[in-house]
Amino acid sequence: MEWQQNFNRDGPLCGQRGSVFGNYKVIIVCLGLLNAMLFISAVVLGVKCAQAKQASLQVSHSAVISEVTFLRSNHSDVITAEKQAWRALANAIKNHTQLKEQIEQKKIINDGYQKQVEALQVEKTHLQGNISALGSSCGKCPLGWLIFNSRCYFFSYTESTTVKKNWYKSREDCIKRGADLVVIDNQQEQEFISHTINNMRSGRDVWASGFWIGLTDMETEGTWVWLNNVTEVEQRYWMDGEPNDMRTGEDCGVAVYSDENPWKTRYDSACPHRQLQWICEINQS
């Protein structure tokens, strides 16, 4: 009975212990296999990661190269555009210079034409005077004088475009010619005088292109009297602000042509000091 008890106590225990050790071996083997698998997985993952990183670096490198190529292309385009802009600017400057030279040349040509026109106007006036003298008047007006409504008129401009005199010297010249400074009696004569002066102007300065006429207020300031002793009562022929005497004794009348108003064609000036052209008048002989 004692042997049987010992057998029962030790026998089964030994069998159970051997079973436990067997389980441990299985577990150890399993853990070893698991570690091997983990190691292999780690190696595989490392390889894959390295390959992925390499691929990523290659992709990034390609992207960088592509971007650099793109920037270089754009930079080249910018340089080309800049060169084209500079060439366009140079051409524009060249064209501007040429245009400026052409304008200067045309201005010189135009000035030459203007002088020719002025010379032709003077010649026209001479021819008109000759035609008037040789035409219907049959020589009743002196050579070089103009005829209008049976009266003869001498404009000093037709004899010389540069010789000018004061009012007194101008009247002396008319008297030497058997005439006197013009006396304007009516509107028709006023228009004839004004338009003839317009054909003889040497410039745009109205004040310097005037002609002495036989009208003064020497006797009474503000009372304008013609040389035939007729008092001038018509005010519309005076330019705006005229006559004004200017506190310097402007006592003699001057006839001009006005582009702004053809009716306002007179102003007063200083008889002894101002140098102007003059108009003489006589009856037909």
CB atoms inside a 10 Å sphere around CB 198: 16
| 3-state DSSP of 106-164 | HHHHHHHHHHHHHHHHHHHHHHHHHHHHHCCCCCCCCCCCEEECCEEEEEHHHCCCCCC
Q: Quick check: 177 pLDDT over 90? A: yes
Where are the extended beta strands (E) located within the chain?
Answer: 146-148, 151-155, 180-181, 211-216, 225-226, 252-255, 266-269, 277-283
List the one residue out of 183, 179, 240, 251 whose CA is nearest residue 214. Answer: 183
Judge if the upstream peptide bond of residue 243 is cis by omega within 30 degrees of 0: yes
pLDDT of residue 147: 95
pLDDT of residue 160: 93
pLDDT of residue 232: 93
In angstroms, the CA 139 to CA 120 distance is: 24
For residue 67, what pLDDT band results from cuts at 50, 70 and 90?
Answer: confident
Alpha-carbon dihedral sign for residues 16, 18, 23, 24? positive
Percent of the chain residues topping a pLDDT of 90: 45
pLDDT of residue 9: 47
Q: Quick check: 38 pLDDT over 50? A: yes
For residue 14, what pLDDT band results from cuts at 50, 70 and 90?
Answer: very low
pLDDT of residue 138: 53
* pTM of this structure: 0.53
* Identity of residue 283: N
Query: Lowest-pLDDT range, 14-28, 97-111, 140-154, 231-245?
Result: 14-28
What would the mean pLDDT of 153-160 be, rounded to a whole number? 96
Rg (CA), the chain: 60
206 secondary structure, DSSP code = T
pLDDT digits (tens, 9 = 90+) for 75-133: 888 888 899 999 999 999 999 999 999 998 898 998 888 888 877 876 776 676 556 54
pLDDT of residue 65: 82
In angstroms, the CA 272 to CA 165 distance is: 9
Burial class (CB in 10 A: 0-12, 13-18, 19+), 177: middle
pLDDT digits (tens, 9 = 90+) for 193-218: 999 999 887 677 888 889 999 999 99
Q: Quick check: 63 pLDDT over 80? A: no
β pairing state of 146-148 and 266-269: unpaired
β pairing state of 151-155 and 146-148: antiparallel
**Maximum separation of any 2 CA atoms in the chain, in Å:** 199
What would the mean pLDDT of 219-243 be, rounded to a whole number? 93
Long-range contacts formed by 114-119: CB under 8 A, 24+ apart:
118/202
pLDDT of residue 258: 81
pLDDT of residue 126: 60
For residue 72, what pLDDT band results from cuts at 50, 70 and 90?
Answer: confident
CB atoms inside a 10 Å sphere around CB 212: 31
What would the mean pLDDT of 18-33 be, rounded to a whole number? 73
